[in-house]
Amino acid sequence: MDQDRVDNGLRRFESLCRERGLPLTVQRREILKALLQRDDHPTADQVYGCVKERITGLSRTTVYRVLETLVRLGVVRRLHHPGTSVRFDGKISRHHHLVCRKCNRVIDLENRSLDHLELSSMRLHGFQVEDYSVHLVGVCADCGRKSRPTS
Amino acid sequence: MDQDRVDNGLRRFESLCRERGLPLTVQRREILKALLQRDDHPTADQVYGCVKERITGLSRTTVYRVLETLVRLGVVRRLHHPGTSVRFDGKISRHHHLVCRKCNRVIDLENRSLDHLELSSMRLHGFQVEDYSVHLVGVCADCGRKSRPTS
DNA sequence: TGCCTAGATGGTAATTGTTACCAAAAAATG
DNA sequence: CATTTTTTGGTAACAATTACCATCTAGGCA
Ligand SMILES: [Mn+2]
Ligand SMILES: [Mn+2]
Ligand SMILES: [Zn+2]
Ligand SMILES: [Zn+2]
């Protein structure tokens, strides 16, 4: 867990809320904190699962709603990856993903060379690029071991 | 519409079916043809919408099932992108996508330099990469025009 | 500090995309 | 053709997400 990411994220969130007159609720803070502390890419339900112990009476609906708010504020990213339900990513700096086509796990990939792809020369037909990321699809280490037994 | 892609796709599909003893049904052929003819990234429901006119009595269930089969055969790709439902891509050669965060459109991006990223040097922690693609997120030309009126 | 009000939450019901199931229909095989 | 195997259509079940509304809370103000 990256304590700096947690602190910075929470601070940025609080100032954004003040800026826009959004009330700072326990639910919002705890849900964001939970996301910032993990470095996987949980679904709304998984977030609910780990936050409900800290906030008694937390509603699943609230989790969906708060996650939506956090995405709108730009402190969290929404991911669309295999496995039916939407995933959330507490890491908003540019990074890339390894996607396992067997277990649907999504693993962060940090790589400086991928962070600076030359896009300016592309024919984008008027599309305004704001960010990008590279998705590497394949089989993760765990799944690779399982399918090809200890050779 | 790229007639070669349609022809090649259908031919490949037919030989794969024979190989694996899968019956060649009208539904499978028409659904694949519809996907190969489009160069957007339709949902199952959109595919149903445009194929049902060609096959009377076509069931939505069949569309979902056939799309799944086509993905398993490797003649179409499943995409996970904004807008809740799964999208399908009839183009299976390596290519990239522009994703509009306003209208959720997904536009193909062909770019030679993106097709040959140097991955071998990366620390992949045992992940076996089979393919990759780059997602450029931003605002498409149409949406850009709308929000920032004719200046 | 104790009200007031806009906005947020919780709980339930509705909606939507997708899958399970099974009887009827269509392909392959010989 | 007759047989066997697999697919299809239709409906019911499911799961993720959203709509709704009564209740509650954060934040502003006396
Ligand atoms: Mn990530
Ligand atoms: Mn595509
Ligand atoms: Zn895996
Ligand atoms: Zn757009």
The string of pLDDT tens digits covering residues B74-103 is: 999 999 988 889 999 999 999 999 999 988
A44 min Cα distance to partner chain B (Å) = 14
- Mean pLDDT for A31-56 is 96
The span from the CA of A99 to the CA of B22, in Å, is 29
Domains with residue ranges and CATH for chain A: 3-79 (1.10.10.10), 94-147 (3.30.1490.190)
pTM of the model: 0.90
Residue B151: pLDDT above 60?
no
Q: Which residue has the higher pLDDT, B4 or A149?
A: B4
User: Measured in angstroms, how far is the CA atom of residue A150 from the centroid of ligand 3?
Assistant: 16
pLDDT of residue A59: 97
| 8 A C-beta contact, residue B43 and residue B85 | yes
- Mean pLDDT for A104-111 is 93
How far lies A24's CA from each of A19, A29, A143, B44, B84, in Å? 11, 7, 42, 40, 28
Residue nearest to nucleotide D5 (CA to C1'): B23
pLDDT band with cut points at 50, 70 and 90 for residue A1:
confident
Report the distance from CA of residue A85 to the C1' of nucleotide C13 in Å, as an integer: 21
Q: Using alpha carbons, select from A105, A52, A81, A91 the residue that is nearest to residue B81.
A: A81
Query: What tokens appear for B31 in the block?
Result: 């659904």
Q: Which chain A residues have a beta carbon less than 8 Å from that of B140?
A: 126-128
User: Which of A's residues 78-117 have CB atoms within 7 A of nucleic strand D?
Assistant: 84-86
Q: Using alpha carbons, select from B78, B84, B95 the residue that is nearest to residue B41.
A: B78
pLDDT of residue A84: 83
Q: Which chain A residues have a beta carbon less than 8 Å from that of B125?
A: 107, 141
Report the distance from CA of residue B57 to the C1' of nucleotide C30 in Å, as an integer: 32
Residue A2: pLDDT above 50?
yes
The span from the CA of B1 to the CA of B33, in Å, is 11
Nearest-CA residue of chain B relative to A129? B138
pLDDT of residue B121: 83
pLDDT of residue B133: 96
The answer for residues whose C-beta is within 8 angstroms of residue B3's C-beta and 6 or more apart is: none
Tally of CA atoms within 13 A in the half-sphere of B45 that contains its CB: 4
Contact with chain B for residue A124, Cβ under 8 A: yes
Q: Which residues pair with A89 in a beta bridge?
A: A77
Span B123-146, pLDDT tens digits: 898 999 999 999 999 999 999 987
The answer for residues whose C-beta is within 8 angstroms of residue B150's C-beta and 6 or more apart is: none
Contact B129 A117 (CB under 8 A): no
User: Which of A's residues 25-64 have CB atoms within 7 A of nucleic strand D?
Assistant: 25-26, 43-45, 60-61, 64
Contact B128 A111 (CB under 8 A): no
pLDDT of residue A77: 96
